[in-house]
Amino acid sequence: MNLYIRYFEDEVVVTTVDAALDFIRSIQDFNVTPQFEAEFRDYAEGSIPFPKRYKVRPRVYFIVIKTQASTLEEFKANGKGGETENAEARPDRPLRSRDLARQRLNDECPGWYEGSITFKRVVVVPETGKFDYLDTTFAALVKAYSAQDCYNRIVDYLRSRSDVDPRSQFPSPKGKNFQYSFVGLKPYSELNV
């Protein structure tokens, strides 16, 4: 595994940890201590695939990304060298149920969906007359083409209601504040509602 390192406009792809440390030593205001070197070697030689950033001074960092690319040009041409792998190509890391739900959001599967959304509803505080955001959960049984369509229909319905302030905030369908389950293709009369 090679390393891509970037500090402002200076960037490099290196094939060894020693070459990476040489580049890091060239950064002004950053002191490579034995403790940092040991920690950096552990990260570079370990199995953690995520990028890592190191603080040079307040609000100034350099970033390190593990990559398969062997040159800077290859790294840039391949969209960061393919350091992010498809989750299905990683049999050692099973997909979590939330990840599966995100992947299946746009999968077309017409039928009935049970959708639940928790959104920030704007309400008036009677004592002060000021507005406040209140977490509000809304659930519905929706006929839709996909989970994304279910989300869109719920949000459209809530926005059309006169008792929901237009300043209310709706979560992303990929977040934890939207849950859904596919009920099936049964007619409405056969559903247990």
* pLDDT tens digits, one per residue of 87-116: 444 444 454 555 555 667 888 888 899 999
Q: Which of 31, 51, 84 is the last residue of a domain?
A: 84
Q: Looking at the domain assignment, is residue 184 inside a domain?
A: yes
Look at residue 191 in the predicted model and tell me its pLDDT.
55
**pTM exceeds 0.75 for this model:** no
Look at residue 3 in the predicted model and tell me its pLDDT.
92
Look at residue 136 in the predicted model and tell me its pLDDT.
92
Q: Are residues 172 and 108 both part of a single domain?
A: yes
Structural domain count, the chain: 2
Q: Are residues 108 and 141 both part of a single domain?
A: yes
Band the pLDDT of 48: cuts 50, 70, 90.
confident
Q: Read off the tokens for 37.
A: 């070197």
Q: Looking at the domain assignment, is residue 41 inside a domain?
A: yes
Q: Are residues 7 and 48 both part of a single domain?
A: yes
Mean per-residue pLDDT for 134-157? Answer: 93
Domain that residue 137 falls in: 102-190
